[in-house]
Amino acid sequence: MDSASAVSASAAPRTTSQRIKSIFSGSVGNLVEWYDWYVYAAFSLYFAKAFFPQGDMTAQLLNTAAIFAVGFLMRPIGGWLMGIYADRKGRKAALLASVLLMCFGSLIIALTPSYETIGVGAPILLVLARLLQGLSVGGEYGTSATYLSEMANKEQRGFFSSFQYVTLISGQLIALAVLIVLQQTLTVEQLESWGWRVPFFIGALCAVTAMFLRRGMEETESFSKKKEEPKESLMRTLLRHPKEVLTVVGLTMGGTLAFYTYTTYMQKYLVNTVGMSKTDSTMISAATLFLFMLLQPIVGALSDKIGRRPILIAFGVLGTLFTYPILSTLHTIDTWWGAFFLIMAALVIVSGYTSINAVVKAELFPTEIRALGVGLPYALTVSIFGGTAEYVALWFKSIGLESGFYWYVTGCIACSLLVYVTMKDTRTHSKITTD
């Protein structure tokens, strides 16, 4: 954007309706991105056999979980590249680029032949697709969190930025909805043979639609009005904020592990450990995620009233105290409603992190490095803890020590609690400035 257009864009404060329109445009694209990302997790129970040699279910799920984790390895690179791009060229440009990468990743998975057809080429192409998707999502999070936080007015920043997780969870829900529809219309054999490809084709088409929606987004005032950057690299500028970077790492560690434990891994846990059917596990996941989604703006709005720090501390304390009891009890549960209420209780606790983590991180950094400051340390932490959640859980199960995973999650949440207790409340110390 040139200086003339920047001045024009910031000449008058945006109305509430203009802010909502831009937030909606950004959020819809975010939904599509996360749908594409989570379709992999939702359908891995069916396509595991297509990409790997025959073996027991745990072994095949370990392979698909490992590739799920590999996708996370690209997220820091995406957070780095897209963060720099967003801070140099604009939030809108970076969001357009990320959704294009996601489209290519979904198409590769949809079109890749099975292991029986092309042998080792099948898992190699699957890895390539997940690398592209990881690059996309790595850039999406930091830029999207920055965009929504900058676009919202100060008094409702927690509420509006919570829609990042509303759309993130919506992407998971739509992935599960597609799975439920296919489970009801196709046989298990058809799903494992070709039906699992359908949601990836849907994702690619939706990504193209999201690109057109994002073309109509407005740039944020914060970026449009920022001063000319110094000539030093953005990475060097970021290193001048070590406390903020470490804060992002610390506050993310426990939250992301808990989130992936109770969302993407829980569907497999109910089948592989609790012994429920694939259909029941999918329905429970969908029901709990729907209510979890509705909680996000409620908790986000609460943070606008009482502050971000009390909400984070509540998550840290409750997560530390109740993770082991919830997971160990769930292990022995044998009813649909019992599993539903336990998982829902866990997700209510996790809402204290998910609803406001985007705005907290965005409020830590100045405009010139906000997308990079949010995206890179977050992506690194998610790759280490969130992306490996399924693999670590299945590894503990494979060695006959499943309860070790429960303590692992508890310990990580406790570490994040230490950060919540010692950090400032970003609602009153925000570095986001708007009209």
Whether the pLDDT of residue 140 is over 60: the answer is yes
Residue 241's pLDDT is what?
Answer: 82
Residue 7's pLDDT is what?
Answer: 38
Whether the pLDDT of residue 2 is over 90: the answer is no
Averaged pLDDT score across all residues of the chain: 84
Average pLDDT rounded to a whole number, residues 143-166: 84
Torsion (CA) 220, 221, 226, 232 in degrees, nearest 10: -10
Average pLDDT rounded to a whole number, residues 230-253: 81
The predicted model scores a pTM of 0.80
| Rounded distance between C-alpha atoms, residue 120 and residue 91, angstroms | 39
| Element (DSSP H or E) covering residue 366 | none
Q: Which of 51-65, 242-256, 421-435 has the lowest mean pLDDT?
A: 51-65
| Rounded distance between C-alpha atoms, residue 378 and residue 363, angstroms | 14
Structure tokens at 61: 């799920």
Average pLDDT rounded to a whole number, residues 4-31: 63
Average pLDDT rounded to a whole number, residues 157-186: 87
Average pLDDT rounded to a whole number, residues 305-315: 95
Choice between 15 and 283, residue whose per-residue pLDDT is larger: 283
Nearest in space to 200 (alpha carbons), one of 64, 41, 24, 94: 41
In tens, the pLDDT along 27-36 reads: 777 888 888 8
Confidence band of 322 (pLDDT split at 50, 70, 90): very high
Residue 11's pLDDT is what?
Answer: 42
Residue 271, φ and ψ in degrees, nearest 5: -85, -50
Residue 16's pLDDT is what?
Answer: 65
Q: Which of 89-98, 220-229, 394-403 has the lowest mean pLDDT?
A: 220-229
Amino acid identity, residue 261?
Answer: T
| Rounded distance between C-alpha atoms, residue 99 and residue 32, angstroms | 8
In this structure, whether the domain defined by 15-221+240-422 belongs to CATH 1.20.1250.20 is answered with: yes
Nearest in space to 50 (alpha carbons), one of 106, 130, 125: 125
Q: Which residues contact 182 (CB under 8 A, 6 or more apart)?
A: 191, 195, 198, 199
Percentage of the chain modeled with pLDDT above 70: 90
Residue 8's pLDDT is what?
Answer: 41
Residue 10's pLDDT is what?
Answer: 42
Whether the pLDDT of residue 3 is over 80: the answer is no
The residues spanned by each domain of the chain are 15-221+240-422
Residue 382's pLDDT is what?
Answer: 87
In tens, the pLDDT along 183-204 reads: 889 988 888 888 989 999 998 8
Where does residue 119 fall: left (phi above 0), alpha (psi -120 to 50 degrees), or beta otherwise? Answer: left
Nearest in space to 161 (alpha carbons), one of 131, 187, 141: 141
| Rounded distance between C-alpha atoms, residue 156 and residue 14, angstroms | 14
Q: Which of 168-172, 216-220, 245-249, 346-350 has the lowest mean pLDDT?
A: 216-220
Whether the pLDDT of residue 119 is over 60: the answer is yes
